[in-house]
Chains A and B, each alone.
Chain A
Amino acid sequence: MRPVKLVGAMFLAMLLPAASMSHQEPVEAHTWTAIDWPFPRDGWPAGRAFRCAPSSCDAPAILTLRVKLGMCNCDTGVRDDLEVDGLSDVDLVSSTFVPLAPGTLFQVGALRGRMREYEAVVDGTKKRLVGVVLSRGCDVVAASLVTSDRHRRDWAGDFTRLLQNLP
C-alpha cells in the first residue's frame, strides 16, 4: 500500500468507530470489491474505493469513501447541499454534474449529513452520481458513487454498509 493510501485509511479509521455503532441495517447486501483509488492525487489523501459488478448491482458501480479533516464547521455540522456539491467528491467523476433534486438528510451512527443525486456526462455517456457528506466534529467523511444513468435505485444501504464494515 502506498503511503498516501495509508494516510487515507488512517483518517477513515479515526472517524469510523462512530459509524460502527450504528443500529441501521443495510437495505441489500451487494458484493463490493475493494479497488485502487480511481482518481488522481488532489488536496486530500486517497481513501477507499469499491466496485460492484453488474451481476450483483445490476449495473457497474464505483463507490469511494474518504475523510477530509477540518473541512466542516465544527459547531453546525453539514448544513446544506452546498457542502455535498463541494465536498462529496462527485466533482472527481465529472466537473459538470447537475443536481437532480435537493439532497436529503443521511445518518450513519454518529455521522450525520446529507446525500444528493446528480447526473453528468462522462466520456460521452450519461451517468448517475450520488454524493454523501457526513460530519463528526470538524471532520467529514466524503463519499461518492457513479453508475449507469438508467440504473435508478436507493444506494443508501450500500453507503451505510460500507461505512460500517470497512475491512
Chain B
Amino acid sequence: MSLPCTKWTSVLSIAACVLLSNAVHAKEQAIGDPPEAKNMELVGWNDLQQRSAYQPTVFHQGNRWIAYIGHHGGTEAVPRPVNPLTGQAEFNGTSIVDVTDPKKPIYLYHLPGQEGLGESGAAQMTRVCSGAQLPKGDKSTIYLLRTFGNIAHEIWNVTDPAAPKLVSRIEGQLKDTHKSWWECDTGIAYLVSGAPGWRTRRMTQVYDLSDPAHPVKIRDFGLPGQQPGSSGSVPTELHGPISAGPDSNRVYFGYGTNKGGIIQIVDRKKLLEGPGEPTPENLKAPEISQLALSPLIGAHTVLPLLKMPIPEFKNDKDGQTRDMVMIVDESLVNECAEARQMVWFADITVETRPMVVSNFTVDEASGDFCQRGGRFGSHSSNEAAFAIFNKKVVFVTFFNAGVRAIDIRDPFRPKEIGYFIPAITQATTPRCVKINGADRCKTAIQSNNVEIDDRGYVYVVDRANTGVHILKLSDETLKSIGQ
C-alpha cells in the first residue's frame, strides 16, 4: 500500500484511503490471474527456460516452423540458469523452439551466449536466412545470424535446429551490439556494433554475408560526429536499421531509445558502393533525409510501409498512395518516470520532407499501467511482412500493457483492434523503483518483442522471464481485415 493511510485518523478518512488504494492497485497483476485479452487468443506457451527474451524470428524451415529467440543476460539472482535439457548451467543465449504445432511448442536447444547480466551479455538478436536465398550460401543450409553479447556477431548452421554448428564469427573489439538486419536475397547485413574508436556504442557495420562462411566487410557507417576523431556533441546512438532491399534501394535507420530520436532515410546503393572512409562527407553522402523527432522520444524500430493505398484519399487527384514508416519508441524507465513512448506514423512520400502524421498509444487509464510496475510504453513491432498482415495489421509490444494489434490500413488513423496481456507466473521477475533510496518492487508482464509467422501466429516474448506466448487474432477480427 503506497498511501499514508496510517496518518489518517477518522474512520471516514481510513475508508476513503482503502478505497483509493484498491482503485490504484486494482489492475496490478497477481499470480493466478488470467491473461487480459480482446480479440486475441492464447494458442500455446513455452517458458524459454525462464530466460529474459528479446528478438524472436520464426522461420518456415521445410515442413517445420522454428522460433529462434534471442535473450538478454541473466539476473543477479540467477546469472546462469540451468538448461533442463542438459542439466547444465548456461549463460543466456538463443532459445530454439519448434512451433510447428503452436499449441505444443517443443524446446529443442539452448545455444549459450556471452557471460553477463541484462544487456551486458547473452545473445539478444536473431535473424535467419536460407542458403537457397543467399547468393553464395549452401543451398541446403539454414543460417542463424545472432549477436554474441556485446563483443561479436555469429553465424550458425541451424539446418538441424536441435544441433547448431558455428559457421563464422565476426569480432573486432566491439563495445556493443544490437538490432541488426540481414537481407536474405542479397546477403547484405547491417550489423549494429560498437566499432573501436567510434564515439558511440552502437553504429552500423555493413557486411556482405552472401557467403556466410566468409564474411566480407563493406564499411562502417553512422551519423557525422560519431566517427573516430570527431569532437563536440555526440549524435544519438543507433538502435537498428531495416532495409527495404535493392529494388526499393532504401535503408531506414532508427536512432535513440527513449530520447533524441532520429529517423534517417538512406540510399542503399550509395551506402554500399560509396567511399567507405568514415569522413563526415562520406557519412553524409548516402543520406536522403533525416527526421528529427521530439527529444522526448527515441526510435527503436523504423518499419517501412511503402506504397500504401490510403482509402480516405482514393478520390484525390494526387497522393492516393503514400510511402509511410512506422516509428516505435522504446520505453526505458519503470513506472512512467519518463515521457510517454509510443508509435508514430510518418509520411515519407516526399522523402526529403518526412512528416509525422499520426500516432498510437495504449490508453493508460484502461489498465492503470503506470501503477502496475515495470515499464509501460511501446518497445517493438513485428518486422516480418507476410501477406496475411502486411500493410493491414501490425503488432506492437507495450511492456506491461502486453501486445497490441493495430489496424494500419489507414495509417493516418491507426486504431487498436485487439490486445493480449499475458498472465504472470512464479518465474516473472519483479521490477523496482527507488523510493527514498530503497527499492520498491512490483511484478508485471514486460512484453518485450513480437514477431509473426506466415500462418498468422503472433509470438510475443517477455523481458521479465515469463517466456513466449503464441497468439492469434480471433476469427472475427481476421475476417474484418479480409482474411
Contacts and interface: CB of A to CB of B under 8 A. Distances in A.
B234 A43 contact: no
Contacts of B78: none
B430 interface: no
A78 to B, nearest CB: 12
Nearest to A10: B337
Interface residues on B, range: 20 to 34
Given A15-B434, A82-B201, A91-B233, A75 B259 contact: no
A91 B234 contact: yes
B119 interface: yes
Interface residues of A, number: 26
B402 interface: no
Contacts of B427: none
A56 interface: no
Interface string A95-109: 111110000000000
A86 interface: yes
A44 B337 contact: no
A91 B259 contact: no
B199 interface: yes
Nearest to B261: A43
Nearest to B298: A43
Specify the main secondary structure of chain B where it touches its partner. Answer: loop
Contacts of A69: 332-333, 337-338
Contacts of A11: 337
B338 A70 contact: yes
B231 interface: yes
Contacts of B119: 73-75
Contacts, number: 62
A87 to B, nearest CB: 9
Contacts of A117: none
Nearest to A11: B337
Given A75-B117, A85-B234, A14 B200 contact: no
A70 B118 contact: no
B258 to A, nearest CB: 7
B436 interface: yes
B296 interface: yes
A17 interface: yes
Given A43-B296, A70-B333, A96 B232 contact: yes
Nearest to A83: B201
Interface string B187-220: 0000000000001110000000000000000000
Contact of A70 (B73, B232, B332): B332
A73 B120 contact: yes
A154 interface: no
Interface in B169-193: none
A165 interface: no
Interface of A: 11, 14-15, 17-18, 42-44, 69-71, 73-76, 82, 85-86, 91, 94-99, 137
Given A14-B437, A43-B295, 19 more contacts: A11-B337, A17-B437, A43-B339, A69-B332, A69-B338, A75-B116, A75-B117, A75-B119, A82-B201, A91-B232, A91-B233, A91-B234, A95-B232, A96-B231, A97-B231, A97-B233, A98-B232, A99-B231, A137-B434
The 8 closest A-B pairs by CB, nearest first: A43-B295, A17-B437, A43-B259, A91-B233, A70-B332, A70-B333, A95-B233, A86-B234
